[in-house]
Amino acid sequence: MATNKTVFFIIGILLVILGAFMLLPYVAQLIYLENSHSFLSSAFITMFIGVLFILTNLDHEFYLNLQQTFLFSVLAWVAVAIFGSIPFIFSTLNLSISDAFFESMSGITTTGSTVISDLDNSPKSILLWRAIMQWLGGIGIIVMAITVLPLLKVGGMQLFKMEGSDNTEKILPRTAEVASIIILTYLTLTFLCSYFYWIFGMNLFDSVAHAMTTIATGGFSTHDDSIGFFQNSNIEIVSTIFIISGSIPFIAYLKFLKGNKKIFFQDVQIKGLIYLLVFSVIIMFLYLLFNSHESSFLDKVRISSFNVVSILSGTGYVTTDFSLWGKFSIIFFLFLMFIGGCAGSTTCGIKIFRMQMLFIFLGNQIKKVIYPNSVFIVKYNNQKISDDFITSVIVFIFSYLLLFMLLAMLLSLTGLDFLSAVSGAATSISNVGPGLGEMIGPNGNFKDISEISKWFLTFGMLLGRLELFAVLVLFFPSFWRN
How far is residue 347's CA from residue 101's CA, in Å, rounded to a whole number? 21
| More confident position, 389 or 305 | 305
**159 pLDDT band (50/70/90 cuts)?**
low
Q: Cβ distance 412 to 418 under 8 Å?
A: yes
Nearest to 5 by CA among 71, 80, 49: 71
Over residues 242-270, the pLDDT tens digits come to 999 999 988 888 888 888 888 888 889 99
pLDDT at position 258: 81
| More confident position, 379 or 121 | 121
Residues in Cβ contact with 366 at an 8 Å cutoff, skipping those fewer than 6 apart: none
Whether 326 has a pLDDT exceeding 50, the answer reads yes
| Least confident window among 123-127, 146-150, 429-433 | 146-150
pLDDT at position 160: 63
pLDDT at position 131: 95
Whether 170 has a pLDDT exceeding 50, the answer reads no
Average confidence (pLDDT) over 80-106: 93
pLDDT at position 165: 46
pLDDT at position 2: 53
Over residues 409-427, the pLDDT tens digits come to 999 998 888 888 998 999 9
pLDDT at position 171: 47
φ, ψ (nearest 5 deg) of residue 109: -90, 5
Over residues 215-238, the pLDDT tens digits come to 999 889 999 888 988 989 899 999
Whether 318 has a pLDDT exceeding 90, the answer reads no
pTM of the model: 0.90
Q: Could you tell me what percent of the chain has a pLDDT over 90?
A: 40
pLDDT at position 23: 95
**166 pLDDT band (50/70/90 cuts)?**
very low
Hey, CA dihedral for 105, 433, 333, 413, is it positive or negative?
A: positive
| More confident position, 41 or 479 | 41
pLDDT at position 168: 43
Q: Cβ distance 215 to 186 under 8 Å?
A: yes
Whether 7 has a pLDDT exceeding 50, the answer reads yes
**60 pLDDT band (50/70/90 cuts)?**
low
Q: Cβ distance 70 to 78 under 8 Å?
A: no
pLDDT at position 174: 57
Computed over every residue of the chain, the mean pLDDT equals 86
Over residues 272-282, the pLDDT tens digits come to 999 999 999 99
Whether 28 has a pLDDT exceeding 90, the answer reads yes
pLDDT at position 103: 94
pLDDT at position 204: 94
Average confidence (pLDDT) over 158-176: 52
**158 pLDDT band (50/70/90 cuts)?**
low
How far is residue 313's CA from residue 273's CA, in Å, rounded to a whole number? 10
Whether 162 has a pLDDT exceeding 70, the answer reads no
Average confidence (pLDDT) over 108-134: 91
Q: Cβ distance 446 to 440 under 8 Å?
A: yes
